Amino acid sequence: MAAGPLRDPALPDLAALVWRASRYREGTRPAGAPAWTLDELSGRLAELSGLGAAAQLTLAFLLVREAQALGEPAAWVSHRRSSFYPPDAAASGVDLSALPVIFVGDAQEAARAAAQLARSGAFGLLVVDLIGIDPAVPPALQSRLAGLARTHDIAVLILTEKPADAPSVGSLVSFRGEALRRRVEGPAESVPEEGAARFACRLRVLKDKRRGPGWRHEELCRGPAGLR
């Protein structure tokens, strides 16, 4: 494992989106209703997919931020070809000084690294960023990750780049969601910084072994100046 190059900061991907508000956080949604939270994914192997960077990174940052707020250590496993843009993660509220980032060569190495971290029992959230590479993870490694997630009550979230009708990483994935984004037009007061655009980052649940598929979650975010 070694440090590698970061994704080109000039690319207008959703890593640049900054968390701003939630429509369905605690206190605004019915009690017991599903939502995109760490608690919903704890103890599970989950996959969040989308085309391009879409909103996967933004939604993953929400979980990292929540984990850190709860005092649950989080780690990010990525590949050497790209990763998130750190200033955007920091702007979204992520404490980068408390987020270990591990760079590996491919999906198998990423899964092994995540398993090693999970085995320590020290983490509440592990994000495995496979965006932009072949996300194939052998069933044995998936089984290991799923078992460690259950044993240590860890949320293991795999980020992939694929359409909703593409197969999941594997049958051991307990939760799969599709990340989407759309530009939101609205009153100027909801965009506090001049030049910033608003986006809705939406989760559409394709598979959920606990609650069943079909539920949705949406976060209202703002993008950096210039992103349209």
Q: How far apart are CA 145 and CA 143, in angstroms?
A: 5
Q: How far apart are CA 99 and CA 95, in angstroms?
A: 7
DSSP state of 27: T
Q: What is the pTM of this model?
A: 0.82
As averages over each run of 10 residues, the pLDDT of the chain (228 residues) reads 42 41 48 88 97 82 96 94 84 92 96 97 97 93 97 97 94 95 65 60 94 90 56
Across-strand partners of 219? 22, 201
From the list 18, 53, 206, 42, the residue with the least C-alpha distance to 129 is 53
In this prediction, residue 223 carries a pLDDT of 62
The total number of residues shown for the chain amounts to: 228
Q: How far apart are CA 86 and CA 69, in angstroms?
A: 18
Query: What are the tens digits of pLDDT across the range 11-44?
Result: 334 444 444 344 444 445 666 788 999 999 999 9
- Angle, vertex CA 48, rays to CA 44 and CA 26, nearest 5: 70
Sorted by sequence, the CB contacts under 8 Å of residue 129 that are 6+ apart come out as 57, 60, 76, 77, 78, 79, 83, 84, 110, 159
Q: Are strands 198-208 and 155-161 parallel, antiparallel or unpaired?
A: unpaired
In this prediction, residue 102 carries a pLDDT of 96
98 and 68 Cβ atoms separated by less than 8 Å? yes
In this prediction, residue 187 carries a pLDDT of 55
- Angle, vertex CA 35, rays to CA 97 and CA 133, nearest 5: 55
Query: What are the tens digits of pLDDT across the range 91-109?
Result: 888 999 999 999 999 999 9
- Angle, vertex CA 117, rays to CA 114 and CA 120, nearest 5: 145
Q: How far apart are CA 201 and CA 220, in angstroms?
A: 6
9 and 89 Cβ atoms separated by less than 8 Å? no
